[in-house]
Amino acid sequence: MDKLHIRGGTPLEGEVRISGAKNAALPILAATLLADSPASVGNVPHLRDVTTMIELLGRMGVSVTVTDKMRIEVDASTIRECIAPYELVRTMRASIVVLGPLLARFGKADVSLPGGCAIGARPVNLHVDGLRALGADIHIENGYIRARADRLVGTRLVLDTVTVTGTENLMMAATLAEGETVIENAAREPEVVDLANFLISMGAKIHGAGTDRIVVEGVKKLHGTSYDVLPDRIESGTYLVAGAITSGHVRIKGTRPDHLDAVLVKLRDAGATLGIGPNWIELDMRNRRPRAVDIRTAPYPGFPTDMQAQFAALNTIAEGTAAVTETVFENRFMHMLEMRRLGADIRIEGNTAIIHGVEKLTAAPVMATDLRASASLVLAGLVAEGTTEVLRIYHIDRGYECIEEKLAQLGAHIKRIPG
Ligand code: EPU
């Protein structure tokens, strides 16, 4: 298993380009199943999760062609079977997003239940209940969600928890349903909007994406399209925190500042000076120690749970004490325990971590447990005295394109050790 070696202590300086958003690319690739002619998706990040989604489509018999610049052409007309097997779903929970498209387009889907996860229980009951309300016949059998339907029929769905992939699955299913579907308490994440825009470009009739009420008027069929995935707001936020935690000066380009409001507020509170253009953000924290900032995660437009661990890392060396509260997932504090091994002063009380900033962290081997947790350990390693070894970085490769190259470009001393 590869690991990363990071020698801390260098303020980062320079410019980095942000990749396409993983959490938009995955549902968009699944949505290509809905089209009756080939679809082409650009700005797809080169990530392990994307490779898994391509493999999943390929196993079904769908033809997928990857061009050198990460443009992916998908032709679903060659599909042989509507199955998402356990061996792939267990490596990527987001595989669940093929459920809605398969059912809506082909009338059947056998998708393995994802099972446990390092950050919380993460059930998919709302996906299943919503599809049942649209008329699907669904049984859980041998660890699989077995769903069957003739044509789905639109209805009013009220989600009792805000769910991102749940909203996406139901919105995709509704595009080919008969009549109107209303999704109340829908997720408002930019990735949901990007997926809606992709579906609209294939001929879907969708209104209200980006609000908590999405209305889908079903159509008989959808056609191929050409579309570029939006920039990754979590990758953007992670590089900005990398600049802040090292008292550096970084500029990220090819991003969408309007998707980062809650994160930028916290970076300013931490003492960063920000310059913002139409598609770039510059952060200056030179010669300053960050100030502690309280964090409370919430669905968009609140502070993203996917940025919680990175801000926890920032708080470990900040001036003052911060409370970091996780409200979206019930077990997303594993990184806190690893950061303690670097000398962080963290006390956990239920879903809140109280972090007293220390003057310095000291290097140690640490273990990544999930994607964002591993990013936070890399950030901590950038400031820890000595060489921090981050193990199990396959988690990072699921969601950060060329992280060591991009950080090295900003002057970090970071090396991948193949193993
Ligand atoms: N939930 C239910 N029932 C459901 C679905 C969700 O109770 O049927 C609960 C979950 O257990 C959780 C909450 O609802 O407590 C929100 O979960 P959500 O469904 O929104 O999460 P998700 O769709 O599985 C996506 C991202 C995650 C991100 C969350 C929250 C993708 C592929 N994944 O997950 O991204 O943390 O939304 O914003 O879009 C990551 O990229 O590292 C990552 C984990």
Atom of ligand 1 nearest to the CA of 299: 38
pLDDT given at position 153: 98
Catalytic residue selected from 88, 113, 117, 354:
117
Query: What's the pTM value of the predicted model, to 2 decimals?
Result: 0.98
Residue nearest to atom 43 of ligand 1 (CA): 306
| pLDDT above 80: residue 327 | yes
* Tokens, residue 244: 């802040």
Choose among 372, 367, 293: nearest CA to 329: 372
Q: Average pLDDT for residues 335-340, to the nearest whole number?
A: 96
| pLDDT above 70: residue 102 | yes
Ligand 1 mutation target, pool 159, 161, 194, most atoms within 8 A of CB: 161
Alpha-carbon gap, residue 4 to 221, rounded angstroms: 47
pLDDT given at position 116: 66
pLDDT given at position 403: 95
Q: If you count DSSP H runs as helices and E runs as strands, how many of each does the chain have, helices first?
A: 14, 24
Residue nearest to atom 4 of ligand 1 (CA): 124
Q: If you ran DSSP here, which 8-state letter would residue 153 be given?
A: B
Q: Average pLDDT for residues 335-356, to the nearest whole number?
A: 97
Cα 163 to ligand 1 centre (Å): 6
Is there a catalytic annotation at residue 82?
no
Kindly indicate the confidence band of residue 69, based on its pLDDT and cuts at 50, 70 and 90. Answer: confident
**Residues with Cβ within 6 A of ligand 1?**
23, 26, 94, 120-127, 161, 163-166, 191, 305-306, 328-329, 371-372, 399
Alpha-carbon gap, residue 128 to 170, rounded angstroms: 9
pLDDT given at position 368: 82
Q: What letter represents residue 37's amino acid?
A: S
